[in-house]
Structures are given as C-alpha cells and as structure tokens.
A and B are shown apart, each in its own frame.
Chain A
Amino acid sequence: MAKPTKPLYSSLDEWVDVQPLEQYEKVNPLAPIFYTDEYKDATSYFRGIVKSGEMSPRVLDLTEHIIRLNPAHYTAWQYRYRTLMSIKAPLDVELKLMDELAVKYLKTYQVWHHRRLILTETRDPQRELAFVEESLREDTKNYHTWSHRQWVLSHFNDIDLWRGELDFLDTMFNQDIRNNSAWHHRFFVVFQSGVREGEEDRERVVRRELTFTKQNISFAPNNPSAWNYLRGVLEFNKLPFSTVTTFVFPYTQPTDPEAVDLVDLDNPPPSKQAELPCPAAIEFLADIYESEGGESLLKANQLWKSLADEHDTMRKRYWEYRIKESLQKGST
C-alpha cells in the first residue's frame, strides 16, 4: 500500500477540537472495505466536519487530502465546493489545483464537473481550450475531456472560442482519422451549436464537409467514423444519400489493380492499398437503392444478401431483417 502522505489527524493538535465519526457505529456491515489507516482517519474527521457544518480553510486541506486518496469521493467534492463559496476562496488557485488533478484522475467525473463549477463562477474560459488540448494528449478519446470542451464552447458561446475549432480538429485528424470523438466534435461544431460568423453560407459549409469526409474515406475506406459522419451530414441537411452515389460506387467493388491515379476532388477514388469491397459502402449503396424503391429494391436486396453471406456475416440477422423489412414495405 502507498505510504501515508500526511500524519494522522488524530495525532494533530490543531484538529483536536473536531470529533471524528466512525463510519459504521451500530452495524456490523457486509461487504466492507479494508481501508488504510490514513484513509480511515481522514474520512472519520471529514464525517465529523460535515456533521458540525464547519466551513474553513482547513476543510479545503482535508477535502483535498481525501480527494487525492479517492477522487471519486463525490461528497468531499461537494463539501469542498460549498466551502470555497462560503469562505470566498480565490478561485484561480482552485483552478490551478484542478489542472493537476484533472490530468491525474482523467477518468473521474468529479474532477471535470468541479472544474465546470469553478469556471461557471469565474466566467473566464480563456485558457480552457488549450488546457483541454493538452489533456487530450494523455488520452485522445477521453469522454469527459471532449464533453468538457463542448461544454466550454456552448456555455460561454464566445466567437473567439469557436474560431479555432476547425484548426484544432485538423490537428486531431492528422494524428488519427479514426478518432470517433474528433468526428463527433466536428459535427457538434459545424452543425449542432448554431451558425456563426463566416459560416452563414450553409450550402458552402455542406460542400466543404462532404469534400472533407470523402477525402478521408479515400485514405482509409474501412473507417466507420467517416461513414457515420457522411450519413450524419446528409441526414441533418435533408439531402438524399444519392447525392454521393458516384463517389460511393467504386468502394463497393473489388480493388481494381488497373486503376490509374486521378485527382477528382468531388469523387476521390479509394487508395491503392484499400481493402475492398468495403462493407460500409455496400450498406450505403443499398440504402440508396432502397430509397429509390421499385426495381431498385431488388438491387438493395442483393447487396444486403452479399453482406449477410459474405462481407459482414457477423450482422447476418440484421441484414436479413433489412431484406424482410424492405419487402414488407414494398408490398404495401
């Protein structure tokens, strides 16, 4: 076990006025945890403090101590926040501490939420985006970190904050075009948080996004994040999937060794090393055929069958469901 980081509170004169509280006084508990003496001592004094309602600078020390031993102790966080507000503690100091703790306890809900509470008070998000970028280096797909960035952007909704987002995303995509968190963030920034200065021409924005997505699919066609984004852009903007039929078709075919290099920004072809046919493309093309209806349903069914029997057998039942469903629709 880790060595104690501090002397026990029970040995300190300045805590002698606090009555520590045992966790279980009258009950012999089931499923207990064997705590270290340090943790048991600190939490016993914390229970004593909560009972007395004391809010003072030493409560900040005590709660920080507990948080470092167990960052998921939400009651320590809660009481810490109340104490900070009550004694009007300097919040820039608190945020500095959070810089350290957020990276240390990246996967804990509380570190991120406490940060939000502090920022809501200070109303000063200026260094937040850089901080998030820094902590994404530790874990490029951390859910809390991405959510925090999105909260900062939408809560403060300041044009200066939004301005750099696409450049930031370029950096992330350059590292890993399969980072689904980055794709989601792009959708959040471009489509779901209102329209900002310079983005008023929505047709141009949609064209830009389609070009961006197709380009990324051409580099690595078997990337579900990119196909999901393509679907998202079209559906959100109420455009039919057939808008991109010409682009999608080559990805549904086996690799063509005879293919010549060509530059076509609207319809970039699969890279030479692409592993084709790509199941996501086959699914996409089947959706196009299904929406055409009539004779095309047969073509959709053939594609679903090829997925069920050959290209994506794990989802056989789903593809069979799609066939059945389309036949039911077609007959009514």
Chain B
Amino acid sequence: MANSRPLRPAPDDAFPTATSRLQAETEAVLLDHIPTQASAETTQAPAKLHKSAHIQFLARNFIQGFPAKYTSQDASQPWLMFWTLQSFSVLQVGLDPGNKQRAIDTILTWQHPDGGFGGGPGQGAHLLATYASVCALSIAGGPGEKGGWDQIDRKKMYQFFMSLKQPDGSFLVAHHAEVDVRGIYCLLVTATLLDIITPELVEGTASFIASCQTYEGGFSSASQPYYSSVPYTPESLLSSPRPPLGEAHGGYTFCALASWVLLQPFLDLSPRERPQINTKSLLRWLVQMQGSPAEIGGFRGRANKLVDGCYSWWVGGAFGLLEALGVSAAVGPVSPGGGGGVEMSGEEGEGREDGKHGEDEHEWDDVDGPPFLPSTILADLAHKIDVADSFFNREALQEYILFAGQHPTGGLRDKPPKQASPFSGISIV
C-alpha cells in the first residue's frame, strides 16, 4: 500500500534555500493525494485510471476544436493531432473512416513545398512538426492515393534534412533556428520510418550526441563546437573542448539516448574514433531522478528540481532504451508487477500495464512539445522495456500517476493542483 512506506520529507539539513522550500511545499500538496490506511480499507477498490473521463477530454478537443488559449500551440498543430491520435490508440479508441480521412487531409496541408512539414498550413518546415506529422500519418494514414503515407515527398524531405546539417554533426530544428537533441531525435525517427536514413545524413551525429553527456551522467540540449583556424568544416572541428550547453535533463536525455540507439548501425562510420557514451553514469543519473516515497515515487527531470508527471515517460522510457544497449538489470525477479495494491485497469476492465507509449512535458513545456517513440519503432524494444523496469520502482510511479496525476474531471496533469492537458495525458498513459 502507498502508506506502508515511511514518508520522510526531503532532508534540508536545517539549511533552507529556495530549492528546499519549494520542495517542501510540493511534498505537502502530494501528501494530500496519498490515500490513508483508513480510506483504503473502507473503499477496498484498487486505484484506477479513469479511462472514460480521459477519452471524453480528448474527443471534445479533437472534434469540436481547442479553445483560444491553445493559440500558443498554433505552431504545434501536428502535435495536437499526434497526441490525440496516439492517446486514442493507447486507450483503444478507433476513428470512423470520415474522421480518419479528415485527419489525413489536415496533416497533408502542413507539408512544405520544399520538403518537411510545418506547424500549420503556410508555416516553415520544422523537424519537430515533421516528426509529429509523419507519426500522426503512421497512425491515421495508409498507402494509396488518399492514404497520406505515399503523399510524403521523401526526396524533398531528405534535401530539407541535409539543408539543416551542421559541421559538428548536429542539425538545426528549422532554418535560422536552434540546434538541439530533440530535433535530432525527431529527424532520426522520421528518416528511419521513411527509410531515407543514410551514412551521409548521419555522419558525425553520434559524436555530437556523445558530446552532450554531462558529468552528471544525463544529457544536455546541445554542445558547443570549437573549430581550428579554418572555421566551420567537419575537418576543423576540435574534439576538445566540446562542452555541453545546459545541465543533464530528463527530456534531452531521452532524446539523446533514443538517437544513440537509432545510430548504432552507423557508429563505425565515424570519420575519427568510435564515439562512446558512459552508460554506467547514465544509469546512475536516471535512477537518481526517481523521487522519494514522500514524492510518491514520481520522476524529476533534473537534480534538485520537482517531480513532474511528464518525466514518467522521459526518464521511465530511457531505462528501456538503456536495455536496448545491453545494460540489463537482470537481478531478482524480472517482473515486479503485483503487490503494489494498484491496478492499471480502466473502468472497461481492459487497461494494460505495459502502455508505455506517450509523452509530454510540463516543466519541460517550453514550446513545441516533446517527441516520443512511435509504436512502430517501440515495438521491437517493447519486451526489453518490461525487463528494464526492474531498475526503478514501478509500483511507486504508478501510484504517483493514479493518485496525483489524474485530474478529477478527466485528463492527466503534471502534479496537483495543476490543470490537465493533452500533453500530460499522452505522456503518462
């Protein structure tokens, strides 16, 4: 039961600072969301994901439209589409043929004449929007004249990708835009799905990813290249210094690690020495992101920051990726399930424990929203993810989501008392 563990507040060593004060406030709020022994005994019901309320929350926005406050997502329309479709898919809700065709037609209006997809009609092509559009098509679309999948211009997509490439192996997320590992992850997944990934496209990219690992073990958003006298060519790139810009972060760590997994077949093509990452320090950092019993075992995204529902996906998912690289927990019982007093069963009784798809970001809510692995790529990692869960406390994380992450009127959220959002929903499911 949730309350059988001791709820020791995070120790502040009688040396309070802004960080420890905010932490204490958050723990106090979370405490109200843990059922007491008495209430658990009287209700006898296991904790549930309120499935039908969540579906209504999603369908309302999808069919009727999003209210004006979603104007902030105007440049992320593919994400709204993708999150909703993916949530329906995970919750096993089908789309009728008419709405399916509308979805395909809507997505195709975002394709840019020079390749890639933008955040809406007439918007510039962007790696994150491209990823979300292609993934959305992989759910709603199919082959054929009106299926959407064959209407993706693969040749121009490749040209668009190459036009974003930097001498240090990284990619801009759009023309005149920033470099970061989210975009690289989106590019690699898209290129893999569309079968346009080539050694030319990814030359130097693995080295760039490796350079983003920080001394803490997780990964940052990007690294800064230094060049010798002939600037801005791959040949003049110095292997050191090549510092990460920004600290280790759950969202970027997921993107970097997933990129690293996708780049495995290309590692030997590196022009210089084979790039490496430190999986030992990475594993250590990942497990340290899980909060204490007083935080109901939720995940945080950086050291000394607050737990947040979205990192269930980002950090939780990273364990599965590590497993794909051969870092195996393989101690004790492989499947920790049961015994937690928590069942993931929806009201329809068909909920599944292994629904690891989804993503979101909240604390990581900066803009275009977070990517996640589409089910097609996730499929061959799926069995490994179950095994990998033995690295962290899975029952505790479920409790965080079910007790703290569900909004009473439907939808999922970062933490109480915040509002629900489609991003939280998808990540947490």
Q: Give A residues with C-beta under 8 Å from B.
A: 1, 21, 23-24, 27-36, 39, 43, 47, 50-51, 69-70, 72-75, 77-79, 81-82, 107-110, 112-113, 116-117, 140-141, 143-144, 146-147, 150-151, 154-155, 157, 175-181, 183-184, 187-188, 191-194, 219-225, 228-229, 231-232, 235-236, 271, 273-275, 313-318, 320-321, 323-325
Contacts and interface: CB of A to CB of B under 8 A. Distances in A.
A317 B287 CA distance: 10
Interface stretch (B29-37, B46-54, B216-224, B309-317): B216-224
Interface in B377-395: 390-393
Contacts of B302: 141, 180-181
A250 to B, nearest CB: 14
Given A108-B366, A219-B13, A192 B244 contact: yes
Nearest to A188: B243
B293 interface: yes
B340 interface: no
A178 B19 contact: yes
B224 A221 contact: no
B10 A113 contact: no
Contact of A73 (B70, B74, B80, B215): B74
A179 B347 CA distance: 43
A178 to B, nearest CB: 4
Interface string B391-412: 1110010000000000000000
Contact of B304 (A29, A179, A191): A179
Interface string B232-261: 000000000101111111000000000000
B222 A236 contact: no
B19 A108 contact: no
27 contacts: A29-B105, A30-B99, A30-B102, A32-B65, A34-B66, A35-B74, A39-B71, A75-B119, A77-B176, A78-B175, A82-B176, A109-B177, A141-B302, A147-B246, A150-B245, A154-B224, A155-B224, A175-B17, A180-B304, A188-B243, A193-B243, A223-B13, A313-B293, A314-B290, A314-B297, A317-B332, A317-B336
Contacts of B17: 175-179, 220
A220 B123 CA distance: 50
Nearest to A275: B11
| A contacts with B: majority SS | helix
B38 interface: no
Contacts of B292: 314
A28 B102 contact: yes
Contacts of A275: 11-13
Interface string B280-307: 0101000110111100010000111100
A33 B367 contact: no
Contacts of B138: none
Contact of B119 (A21, A74, A154, A188): A74
B177 A78 contact: yes
Contacts of A31: 61-62, 65-66, 77, 80-81, 84, 106
Contacts of B249: 143
Contact of B75 (A75, A187, A271): A75
B126 interface: yes
Contacts of A236: 215
B106 A27 contact: yes
B68 interface: yes
Contacts of B367: 72, 107-110
A273 B291 contact: no
Nearest to B396: A314
B230 interface: no
Contacts of A70: 71-72, 74-75
A194 B241 CA distance: 6
A74 B71 contact: no
A176 B305 CA distance: 13
B224 A273 contact: no
Given A317-B329, A321-B329, A151 B366 contact: no
Nearest to B178: A113
Contact of A24 (B10, B109, B178, B220): B109
A31 B243 CA distance: 41
A81 B63 CA distance: 36
Contact of A222 (B10, B122, B176, B247): B10
B124 A78 contact: yes
Given A82-B176, A147-B222, A150-B245, A315 B290 contact: yes
Nearest to B252: A143
Given A23-B122, A117-B176, A144-B366, 4 more contacts: A35-B71, A43-B74, A47-B121, A179-B19
B75 to A, nearest CB: 5
Contacts of B248: 184
A12 B5 CA distance: 66
Given A27-B105, A317-B391, A193 B241 contact: yes
B353 interface: no
Nearest to A150: B245
A318 B81 contact: no
A273 B15 contact: yes
A215 B53 CA distance: 52
Q: Lowest 6 A-B CB distances belong to which pairs?
A: A232-B215, A273-B14, A184-B247, A178-B19, A192-B243, A275-B11
Nearest to A174: B17
Given A154-B243, A315-B287, A23 B366 contact: no
Contacts of B71: 33, 35-36, 39, 69-70
A35 B220 CA distance: 35
A127 to B, nearest CB: 20
Contacts of B123: 74-75
Contacts of A274: 13-14
Given A34-B68, A184-B247, A147 B215 contact: no
A274 B13 CA distance: 4
Nearest to A40: B71
Given A151-B224, A222-B12, A107 B70 contact: no
A74 to B, nearest CB: 6
B204 interface: no
A317 B390 contact: yes
B349 interface: no
B118 interface: yes
Nearest to B290: A314
Given A193-B243, A222-B12, A140 B18 contact: yes
Given A178-B20, A318-B391, A78 B174 contact: yes
Given A155-B224, A184-B246, A225 B303 contact: yes
B350 interface: no
Nearest to B243: A192
Nearest to A157: B226
Residue with the greatest number of chain A CB neighbours at <10 A, chosen from B14, B74, B288: B74
Interface in B1-23: 5, 10-15, 17-20
Given A33-B74, A35-B74, A314-B297, A320 B13 contact: no
